[in-house]
Every structure is written in C-alpha cells, then in structure tokens.
Amino acid sequence: MFFRDGFFWGMHLIWWVIWLVALGWIFFAPSNWPLQETEEESDALAILKVRFAKGEITKEEYRDQKKILEPDK
C-alpha cells in the first residue's frame, strides 16, 4: 500500500523531525529571557522610587539600594 510508494516514510520522518524540534525547544530553550530580567530590574527600581517618595527610606538608603540594583552605572 503506502509502504512501497515512499509516502509513509516521508510523513513518518516529518513527524519525527517535528517531535524532536518540539522536545528540543522545551528542554533547551532558555528559561530566562533577557526582557524578563530587565522588567524585574525596572520593577525593583520603580518600587524603590515609590518607597523613597513615600518617605519610607532615607536618601542614603535610596542611593545605596540603587547602586545595588544598578551595578554597571
């Protein structure tokens, strides 16, 4: 039937490739996207700014914590 025409093996091969790509994506894709990290950092800075604006922390505490959150600047 389909075994001799080659259609069976072609479709079978395509499905194996699809499954291997899907499994590779699941297991080897990075779990932390760079955009997520920058959003977390900006969220932390936003919270720090709000705390400073409310008067919960002093100017020195604000500067120290900002240096910790932004080590490259």
Number of structural domains in the chain: 2
Q: Which residue type occupies 40?
A: E
Half-sphere exposure of 29 (CA within 13 A, CB side): 8
Q: Are residues 68 and 49 in the same domain?
A: yes
What is the spatial distance between Cα 72 and Cα 70, in angstroms, rounded to a whole number?
6
Kindly report, residue by residue over 44-53, the tens digit of the pLDDT. Answer: 888 999 999 9
What is the spatial distance between Cα 59 and Cα 18, in angstroms, rounded to a whole number?
56
Q: Are residues 3 and 16 in the same domain?
A: yes
Q: Are residues 18 and 40 in the same domain?
A: no
Residue-number span of the structural domain to which 3 is assigned: 1-31
Contact in structure between 71 and 44 (CB atoms under 8 Å): no
Q: Are residues 57 and 70 in the same domain?
A: yes
Beta-carbon count within 10 A of 49 CB: 12
Full pLDDT tens readout for the chain, 73 residues: 455 555 556 667 788 899 999 998 888 876 665 555 555 556 888 899 999 999 999 999 999 998 888 866 5
Q: Are residues 39 and 16 in the same domain?
A: no
Q: Which residue type occupies 9?
A: W
Q: So what's the pLDDT on residue 1? A: 46
